[in-house]
Amino acid sequence: MTKPTFSLTLRMISFIFINLDRFRNCEKTWGKFFYCPYCLVHDKIATVEPQTRNSLAPSLLGLHPSFGFGDRLGLATPGHILATQSGQLLPVFAQQSVREMDRTNRTPLEVMSTAQEAIRTSGWQGIWGADADHLKTETDVINLANAGFTFFTIDPSEFVNNAADNLVQNQLKKALDEVVKSQAFESIGQIEDLYLGKGIEVSNDLTLDFKDREKLYRAVVKYGRAIAYAEKMSGWITEATSGTDFEIEVSVDETDTPTTPIEHLFIGMELKRREVQCVSLAPRFVGQFEKAIDYKGDLGLFESTLAQHVAIARWCGPYKISVHSGSDKFSIYPIIGRVCGNLLHVKTAGTSYLEALRVVARRNPEAFLEIIKFSLESFDTDRATYHISADPNRVDNPENLNHKEREAEFLDQDDGRQIMHVTFGSVLAIGKMPDSQPFKEIILETLSTNSDLHNQLLNEHLGHHIRLLSYG
């Protein structure tokens, strides 16, 4: 036992001294250390050659640009592996939210094992991540940690006060008192001592301040309880992982109004003060990030505010900016890649499911027609948890279309794509053919017997995502 321990120690010492100048010049300090141990972790990952790693074990991705591939059916990873080769983004092959697993009747262990089996079969030797997405409870954390996930996305959205921006003075004061009463802060005095009147030079081009008491109070009311809950969840993650390495992302993107730069600065500073070490943070951006379709909004305004978010992430962390509902946002991918640089993470999920349906559309058009009809019936119920603008009245009757027209209407046009996207849970859980054969069974059979086409479509579609991000 002595010899391996001594060998490991030598490697660690050697690594530190080789990179001593980098550590000495790091702008971040943590506790009593003269270098940044968080940067050490990320730099260490960056220097490990893929062939020296166990490719079947997920890794920390650190401050590298990365891309999350959601796989709701468990058969998409081979296509995702192909798409990964289109750019320089590190892949997250195992990624599924608890909500998605509930709707598809999958377990965390199943999500992990199917990704690992595809990696083993393909011979993939690179670094990859595993994202326990949108965690909300301690039970969620424990279950995903036990399955071997290493990237934990904290979702405290239930504690965000979406009404904060519109509260009048007496309502704002009452809401602030409620935040303090929840023990998110010790007192209003503590909040003011920490922030009021302070100016922060975030970068050469950006200085923000907390001189406006009302703006500070609104930021605290909007995000204070969510930040406190993120801190609590960070503790649960630490306990559940039992001393093994992990990464944390905090998501505040599922809110009604955009996260302003000053709100982001408040969130970042509070997370740092509470010692929640994030590898990425997902703000709510300006414009509309609807599922399965391109960005809606002013491209110039998006770019200018994104640059501010990146500057804040660099100053507060550094941590990556995470783009959720990130699939099919082709108009802004070059902007995201250019502005974020290495501080970039993008998440996709439903777009891979739609490519699976495209295989069904081409190889089993009768089943695809039945899935469309069922999805139209389920849409009003299933849309409740999504921010989308799809209108079933704007799509053509699928029974009046030929096979190619049906694919184009429901997999290429915005309204049809969103209808098929948000109804995945009902389709996979309870949907059936007229002869009672479950849709899920038919979809899986079709994908298994047409794996080459499935992989080709995933490679083309998601490879396009990665190429545009990498180009930017």
Strand partners, 7: none
The Cα 172–Cα 182 span in angstroms is: 15
The Cα 373–Cα 397 span in angstroms is: 9
Does 298 participate in catalysis according to the annotation?
Answer: no
The Cα 366–Cα 360 span in angstroms is: 9
* Pair 333, 293: CB distance under 8 Å: no
- Cα 147-120-78 angle, rounded to 5 deg: 95
* Pair 342, 63: CB distance under 8 Å: yes
- Cα 362-365-368 angle, rounded to 5 deg: 105
Active-site residue among 71, 100, 131, 133?
A: 133
Instruction: Report the SS3 class of residue 113.
Output: helix
The Cα 279–Cα 302 span in angstroms is: 22
* Pair 398, 369: CB distance under 8 Å: yes
- Cα 47-66-276 angle, rounded to 5 deg: 85
Phi (first) and psi of residue 293, to 5 degrees: -130, 170
Instruction: Report the SS3 class of residue 247.
Output: strand
The Cα 52–Cα 38 span in angstroms is: 22
Instruction: Report the SS3 class of residue 82.
Output: helix
> Is residue 258 classed exposed, middle or buried when 0-12, 13-18 and 19+ CB atoms within 10 A define those classes?
middle
Active-site residue among 247, 249, 409, 415?
A: 249
* Closest to 348 in 3D by CA, of 470, 444, 463: 463
- Max alpha carbon distance in the chain (Å)? 75
The Cα 234–Cα 229 span in angstroms is: 9
Strand partners, 432: 438
* Pair 160, 172: CB distance under 8 Å: no
462: CB partners within 8 A, 6+ apart: 69, 79, 80, 83, 86, 348, 351, 352
The Cα 458–Cα 460 span in angstroms is: 5
Does 249 participate in catalysis according to the annotation?
Answer: yes
> Is residue 365 classed exposed, middle or buried when 0-12, 13-18 and 19+ CB atoms within 10 A define those classes?
middle
Active site residues: 133, 249
